[in-house]
């Protein structure tokens, strides 16, 4: 899929977004140079504990509060230095990391290899993310600035996993003092430090002057939850919001009309939007029924109407650019006649199913189209719109028959694309919201995690994709683009999933 970065521009507006606190922004602008960037996203952050979340809205903040041993450059997919300035593979089971010296936590404490050991051992012990680190058998502190990570078996995606936001390094000493209260006033080594959190309104971050890569140019970052896409676009026009992300096709169209006020950037992403099917619930235990549902959904209609043809139809649960992606993978083709035949033969005409959606206008529109399409083959779908936290809890428990969601393997490795979503050890909130259990799938995923031959590993993931095609625990719909819109005068903006606020500056 070709990389595309579009610089477009912006926004037709008719009223003020009072909820975004624009008057305060205006007062600051009037009193001196601008020092605060307001970033709006769909949902509020849920936690600042990096080892307790895999959802993007929290991780966007975690991304700049903390650092990881290594990072991923989203524009290239390459692993780059983070807290580790270099590393070397001693053997198939051992990685040695040389750490940057003179790195400090936000409370002034020195960062050492002991903090790496503590963080990784904590992450490994937690059910939500432990699978990313489970093959690590020992973290050995060589000295303050050197750490050795040893695995029980060859662990192919280890380096990629250490770039995951759940590998964000926390302070061993501060955690010993605070316990889980650590995350009420967290300290990291990142470019921004925690200032305050007004629940339901905003989180404010402040530039860390002693950041080891240099103090960020923008002093304050205010992150706000503004679910309504139209309100975020309006906020950009009025200047009450400086930057937002995750804009849909309609907003993309709107920003074309205002070239002087808003920069719009877009690039191909690695996230897939999909429909999940609860394989352990009622008639959906029947694979043929799940296949009928997949054949009843016209993905082209959804892409062309809601997304205005701006995204690529998914052929796999992982996207191009992710290790393990195969262009030969398939999703069941639209075939409403066959879908209707299956439903009728099984005597299931009139079957009622629930379809869950979070507070995403695009996914709500998608659900409405799916509802109409399934009605054509004899399935009555009720749409349940839930707040983000409630939605995650409901899908984790398996309360819903079907749901719409997205997944982006931020490590750029197929292990994090497939394993949490389809391994039976990850049922529920850990990722496997389809409640899918298949011993053959488990074995493939376990084998792929340990296979160091990259070509053999790719073949294993190709088999994984074939099982998903056959069993239909999910229906991959389309690959999302990364979209970022920012007011003119902000430099360093890139279309990435996670905004590196420390790379931004206000034009002087």
pLDDT tens-digit profile, the chain (508 residues) = 433 333 333 333 333 333 444 444 444 444 568 999 999 998 898 999 999 988 889 999 999 999 999 999 998 889 999 999 999 999 999 999 999 999 999 999 999 999 999 999 999 999 888 889 989 999 999 999 999 999 999 999 999 999 999 999 999 999 999 998 999 999 999 999 999 999 988 999 999 999 999 999 999 999 999 988 889 989 998 999 999 998 877 787 777 677 788 999 999 889 999 999 999 999 999 999 999 999 999 999 999 999 888 899 999 999 999 999 999 999 999 999 999 999 999 999 999 999 999 978 889 999 999 999 999 999 999 999 999 889 999 999 999 999 999 998 989 999 999 999 999 999 998 889 999 999 999 999 999 999 989 999 999 999 999 999 999 999 999 999 999 999 999 999 999 999 999 999 999 8
Let me know if residue 181 belongs to a domain: no
CA 236 to chain centre: 23
Claim to verify: residue 363 and residue 277 sit in the same structural domain: yes
Let me know if residue 237 belongs to a domain: yes
- CB-based burial of residue 459 (10 Å sphere; 0-12 exposed, 13-18 middle, 19+ buried)? middle
Residues 6 or more apart whose Cβ sits within 8 Å of residue 115? 169, 170, 171, 172
Claim to verify: residue 339 and residue 232 sit in the same structural domain: no
Nearest to 283 by CA among 347, 216, 191: 347
29 vs 427: CA distance, rounded Å: 49
The confidence score (pLDDT) of residue 253 equals 76
Whole-angstrom CA distances from 422 to 390, 435, 452, 457 are: 22, 8, 21, 17
Let me know if residue 9 belongs to a domain: no
Claim to verify: residue 311 and residue 437 sit in the same structural domain: yes
Domain end point (choices 140, 171, 202):
171
Claim to verify: residue 428 and residue 330 sit in the same structural domain: yes
Do the strands 351-357 and 379-385 form a parallel or antiparallel pair, or are they unpaired? parallel
**Cβ–Cβ under 8 Å, residues 323 and 417:** no
Task: Domain of residue 497: give its range.
Answer: 34-66+190-261+488-507
User: E strands, 13-135, where?
Assistant: 36-41, 70-73, 78-81, 84-91, 94-99
Per the structure, how many domains does the chain have?
3
53 vs 270: CA distance, rounded Å: 19
Whole-angstrom CA distances from 35 to 219, 222, 295 are: 5, 11, 52
15 vs 365: CA distance, rounded Å: 25
248 vs 478: CA distance, rounded Å: 13
To which residue do tokens 């139209």 refer?
A: 230
481 vs 248: CA distance, rounded Å: 9
Let me know if residue 348 belongs to a domain: yes
Claim to verify: residue 313 and residue 202 sit in the same structural domain: no
Let me know if residue 214 belongs to a domain: yes
pTM value is 0.83
To which residue do tokens 């919001």 refer?
A: 241
Claim to verify: residue 198 and residue 253 sit in the same structural domain: yes
- Alpha helices for 297-349 (secondary structure H): 299-305, 336-345
Claim to verify: residue 80 and residue 226 sit in the same structural domain: no
The confidence score (pLDDT) of residue 27 equals 44
Residues 6 or more apart whose Cβ sits within 8 Å of residue 91? none
The confidence score (pLDDT) of residue 2 equals 39
């Amino acid at each position: 899929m070709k990389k595309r970065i579009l610089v477009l521009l912006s926004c037709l507006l008719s009223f003020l977004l009072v909820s975004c606190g624009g008057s305060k922004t205006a007062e600051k602008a009037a009193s001196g140079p601008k020092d605060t960037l307001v970033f709006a996203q769909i949902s509020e952050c849920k936690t600042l504990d990096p080892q307790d979340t895999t959802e993007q809205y929290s991780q966007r903040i975690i991304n700049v509060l903390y650092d990881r041993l290594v990072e991923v450059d989203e524009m290239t997919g390459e692993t780059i230095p983070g807290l580790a300035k270099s590393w070397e593979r001693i053997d198939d089971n051992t990685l040695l990391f040389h750490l940057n010296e003179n790195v400090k936590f936000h409370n002034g404490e020195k960062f050492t290899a002991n903090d790496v050991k503590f963080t990784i051992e904590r992450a490994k012990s937690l059910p939500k993310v432990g699978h990313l680190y489970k093959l690590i058998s020992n973290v050995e502190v060589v000295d303050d600035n050197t750490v050795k990570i040893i695995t029980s078996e060859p662990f192919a995606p280890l380096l990629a996993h250490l770039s995951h936001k759940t590998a964000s390094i926390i302070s061993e000493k501060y955690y010993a003092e605070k316990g889980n209260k650590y995350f009420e006033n967290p300290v990291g080594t990142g470019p921004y430090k925690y200032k305050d959190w007004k629940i339901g309104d905003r989180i404010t971050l402040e530039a860390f002057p002693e950041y080891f890569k240099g103090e960020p140019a923008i002093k304050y970052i205010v992150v706000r939850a503004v679910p309504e896409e139209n309100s975020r676009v309006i906020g950009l026009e009025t200047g009450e919001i400086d930057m937002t992300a995750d804009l849909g096709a309609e907003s993309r169209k709107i920003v074309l009309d205002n070239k002087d006020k808003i920069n719009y950037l877009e690039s191909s992403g690695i996230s897939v939007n999909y429909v999940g099917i609860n394989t352990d619930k009622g008639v959906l235990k029947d694979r043929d029924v799940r296949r009928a549902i997949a054949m009843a959904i016209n993905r082209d209609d959804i892409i062309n109407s809601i997304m205005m043809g701006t995204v690529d139809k998914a052929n796999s649960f992982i996207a191009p650019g992710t290790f393990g992606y195969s262009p030969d993978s398939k999703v069941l083709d639209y075939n409403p006649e066959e879908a209707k035949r299956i439903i009728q033969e099984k005597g299931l005409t009139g079957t009622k199913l629930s379809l869950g959606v979070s507070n995403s206008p695009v996914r709500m529109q998608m659900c409405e189209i799916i509802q109409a399409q399934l009605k054509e083959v004899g399935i009555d779908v009720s749409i349940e719109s839930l707040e983000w936290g409630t939605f995650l809890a409901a899908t984790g428990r398996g309360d819903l028959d079907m749901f719409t969601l997205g997944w982006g393997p931020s490590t750029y490795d197929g292990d994090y694309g497939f394993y949490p979503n389809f391994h039976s050890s990850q049922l529920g909130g850990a990722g496997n919201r389809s409640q899918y259990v298949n011993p053959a799938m488990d074995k493939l995923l376990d084998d792929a995690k340990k296979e160091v031959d990259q070509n053999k590993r790719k073949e294993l993931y190709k088999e994984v994709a074939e099982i998903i095609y056959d069993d239909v625990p999910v229906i991959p719909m389309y690959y999302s683009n990364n979209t970022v819109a920012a007011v003119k005068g902000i430099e360093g903006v890139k279309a990435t999933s996670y905004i590196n606020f420390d790379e931004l500056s206000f034009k002087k």
